[in-house]
Structure 1
């Protein structure tokens, strides 16, 4: 479970603005994986009513997220039926999984309408920021602020590698899992100062540097929005049969290869 004090107002604002854009129905059933108090606060403030927050936090009793429900769940092995929730949401937690791709596909499996994720984007600017030590590659700060016992990979004391995503990788992963139909992908971008600088003891030079480049970065972000460090993506599941590829058909209530379509094309 995340430490709420570690989430800046900018990131929380980006979360709320984006989630309300992509989910308009306040009655929609939502599962949050790797969730915490920030998810509870944002979703409550946004007016969502039917929410289950899940994570791997053994410290919880079950009533911490009231009025929402809580469930002990591993993101890579969700104990839910296919399409059990309208939406499945994750905020800054996929990179805590031992297999982020498997977790993403589990989210896809148990969602009916779509999945929404807020993660870090693997941009070339982020690579530079990593090299300069302005952000982490391994998230030891999260473990430190969870008493050195939680907050790492699978919420253990072992700091997780921060897996960062690209749009192309997301689309390849989803299309490989569900290759029979067209999906709709949508992306949002935003900026916030690197969190690590604000919590390090010896970070005076880093703080001065970050402050000095803010005006430049603001203009840079307008020109190259994908290079910003806040990243969210929405994958809307296909509607069957409308979104099926022409080489796929529904027959006997199952997806089948459309041999007649192929016969028109191939010798």
Structure 2
């Protein structure tokens, strides 16, 4: 009886937690289908009637979202490719190669994860400004093509592959480059997919850095473009939520379709061969 009561309490807590996570997304979708009056009505209107599906078409043409979409696709694609490539190379070096100071360097890199990213914004901005990269793709892409977290996840997964396999391949004449891309990466596919998914979501949803380093709508990305719905006259909440759906829903779909790879990739992080 005691165990059943505990299970009921756990399920209740999990249900409350799940509802608290889903509620903001429901509110975003429902508000995107409301009229301007319903969006700011008190008490809140939970079920828009009638649904204003034209809000989505209006929101997409309210600002140059085709340009924002193009920029988001370019930035997300290139930063993801860059981060995955650099992380794989660094993870392989720390997992399989032997060189002086490897453990000290790895510890130092892990320690940098404790530094809040907000503390680096000013120094990074000054560097980008001195290079003359403000309002360019270089400013949006180059600072984000390396990640200690991605390197750590891949390193731990690479170490789960036995060193005996690596040395056997070396004896058979396999180069490090060939072993990495033809043996190690395919064996740790879930970890690589995990890094890709997390990077795509993070890069797609990035707001603060693109806002700081761009000053022209031609270079703005989707999250920054949401500012177009807030003016001196007020905020068009129904259009803002419709546009926010453009930004959020693709990432939700990607996560739901590939979440098993994230779980598997992260669960293997603590294992070693």
Give the TM-score category using the shorter length. Answer: under 0.3
Between Structure 1 and Structure 2, the one with more strand by share is: 1
* TM superposition score normalised by structure 2: 0.23
| Structure whose alpha-carbon radius of gyration is higher | 2
* TM superposition score normalised by structure 1: 0.24
Higher relative contact order (CA 8 A, sep 6+): 2
Between Structure 1 and Structure 2, the one with more helix by share is: 2
